[in-house]
Amino acid sequence: MSQQLATDLAAHLSASGNLPAPWHEHYTVVPRHHFIPDVAWVVPDVTGAEPYPIDRNEDAVGWLRAVYSDASIVTQLDAGTGDLRTGKGTPTSSCSAPGIVFPMLQALDLLDGHKVLEIGTGSGWTAALLSARLGSQYVTSIEVDADVAARAAEAIARTEYTPHLVTADGADSFTPNAPYDRVHATCAVERVPHAWIRDTRPGGAIVAPWSPTYGHGLLARLVVTHNGHAIGRFERTASFMMLRSQQRAFGWTPHDAEGATSEPTTLDPRTIVNAPEGAALAIAAHVPGVTQTVITDPGGDVSLLLSEADAPEGAWAAVDYSAGQDAYTVTWWGQRNLWAQVSDAYLQWVTWGQPDRARFGITVTPEEQVLWLDHPGHRVTPYD
């Protein structure tokens, strides 16, 4: 049964363009079910689909069907203290959905003999896939969580591949096996660790989910230059859990409400809420550190709440939409008027001709990380 389910999933992924031909044979020889624990929490990669638990001992067929679906399978919650049967807690390790795994691997643009550093061994599936493609001797995979690393080592051993497995903080890279031709991150970062660039040879590539505080996560592909810089663009959306050392907890707290300022705006807040990826990148660049929370009422009212991601006592703003109004009330507090900055960034994006995601890029140096439009020299800098 597992073989037929695997074949069906391969056909689905191929039809959607998410299983590139060069990776089909490696998918076949590295069965995903070797890397999924008996009990896990399934997050389907389908809009509106509800997550659900699986237990191999209670429903072996259901477990196998979940394994061979295009779903992310959470294998750890709250660093091991959460209950996978309920799904309550923060995901801290998973086996990513196949529909993003193979496009990410394809983005590496691997050549025979390439040495790869994987950041985040997780379940071990991608480390085994990389080993199948390149040979185990060319693959180093690093995992910060000792329990996750141990389970991954057991799973990889069942496939008879022997990549170099390291238990350590992936943010620090793994210099003993450097230089690498490729760095493949299976966790998201807000700031690309410069250690990854340091340990990658010039012309080498880093493929990593990039997750600013504002907007959706995006898959970044950066190429390393001769001077310790890395320059790249964003390939597609990609939502991943954060690198452990960059994990964050956002919350909107309207503190100091008695000192807040109220003023009108004619800009419909839903325009900001529904802004495309290009606009979100402009906002992320111009207003770093801002995050948004959106509350939608069944009757159609919408509240856009803005706050400083890493400052619970920092600036905040709120603007509400209600049908039939010609103007909307903005309430804000702090050193920055976040609504003014976010709306200005959005309108600036409009004046540029509403460039889409593909026109934006990112440069990382030892000193800074900066977004740009069309060309690395056209920096999109933060507002004062």
Among candidate residues 192, 218, 244, the one where a domain is terminated: 244
pLDDT(374) > 90: yes
Q: What is the mean pLDDT of residues 239-264?
A: 87
157 with 293, same domain: the answer is no
Residue 299 has pLDDT above 90, yes or no: no
pLDDT computed for residue 363 by the predictor: 98
Q: How far is CA 207 from CA 90, 141, 168, 185, 236, in A?
A: 24, 14, 20, 6, 11
Residue 381 forms part of a structural domain: no
Which residues are identified as catalytic?
Answer: 96
Contact 316, 308 (CB under 8 A): yes
110 and 176 within one domain: yes
Burial of 370 (0-12, 13-18, 19+ CB in 10 A): middle
Q: Mean pLDDT across the stretch 298-327? A: 91
What's residue 46's pLDDT? 83
Q: Which of 244, 270, 294 is the last residue of a domain?
A: 244
For residue 311, pLDDT over 90 is answered with: no
- The tally of CA atoms less than 13 A away on the side-chain side of residue 366 is 5
Closest CA to 238 of 208, 213, 268, 214: 208
What is the residue-averaged pLDDT of the chain? 95
Task: Give the per-residue pLDDT at 249.
Answer: 75
Q: Are residues 287 and 208 in the same domain?
A: no
Strand order across the beta sheet in which 91-95 lies: 52-55, 39-44, 71-77, 91-95
pLDDT at 93 over 80: yes
- pLDDT of residue 205 exceeding 80: yes
CATH code of residue 222: 3.40.50.150
Q: What is the DSSP string of 290-330?
A: EEEEEEE-TTS-EEEEEEETT-TTS-EEEEEE-TT-SSEEE
Residues 301 and 264 in one domain: yes
By CB atoms closer than 10 A (0-12, 13-18, 19+), residue 160 is exposed
- Name the nearest CA neighbour of 127 among 240, 20, 219, 35: 35
**Arithmetic mean of pLDDT, 69-74:** 96
59/8 same-domain check? yes
Q: Are 169 and 99 found together in one domain?
A: yes
Q: Is residue 134 in some structural domain? A: yes
pTM: 0.94
Strand partners, 264: 329
pLDDT digits (tens, 9 = 90+) for 27-38: 999 999 999 999
Averaged pLDDT, 209-224: 96
d(CA 1, CA 7): 10
Handedness of CA 108, 110, 114, 120 (dihedral sign): positive
Compute the average pLDDT of residues 249-259: 80
Distance CA 161, CA 14 (A): 25
Looking at the fold, whether 177 and 117 belong to one and the same domain comes out as: yes
Task: Tell me what pLDDT residue 348 has.
Answer: 97
With both helix axes pointing from N to C terminus, report the angle between 2-15 and 98-107 in degrees, rounded to the nearest 10. 60
Q: How far is CA 138 from CA 178, 202, 229, in A?
A: 11, 18, 24
Say yes or no: 66 and 156 in one domain.
yes
20 and 161 both lie in a single domain: yes
Q: What stretch of H or E contains 158?
A: helix 146-158
> Domain with 334 in it: what CATH number?
3.30.160
Q: Is 24 in the same domain as 80?
A: yes
309 has pLDDT over 90:
no
The per-residue DSSP string of 19-40 comes to S-HHHHHHHHHS-GGGGS-SEE
**Which pLDDT score, from 0 to 100, does residue 265 have?**
96
pLDDT of amino acid 255? 86
- Residues 322 and 326: their CA atoms lie apart, in Å, by 9
Residues 12 and 61 in one domain: yes
Residue 237, pLDDT above cutoff 90: yes
pLDDT digits (tens, 9 = 90+) for 333-369: 999 999 999 999 999 999 999 999 999 999 999 999 9
In a domain, 358, yes or no: no
Same domain, 74 and 106: yes
Percent of the chain with pLDDT over 70: 100
Q: What is the pLDDT of residues 266-290, one digit of tens each?
A: 999 999 999 999 999 999 999 999 9
- Is residue 360, in this structure, part of any structural domain at all? no
Domain count of the fold of the chain: 2
> Is residue 119 included in any domain, yes or no?
yes
pLDDT digits (tens, 9 = 90+) for 165-180: 999 999 999 999 999 9
Domain boundary among the residues 218, 244, 270 is at 244
Domain span including residue 123 = 2-244
Whole-angstrom distance, CA of residue 384 vs CA of residue 378:
18
Strand partners, 307: 291, 316
Q: How confident is the model over 215-238, as a mean pLDDT?
A: 95
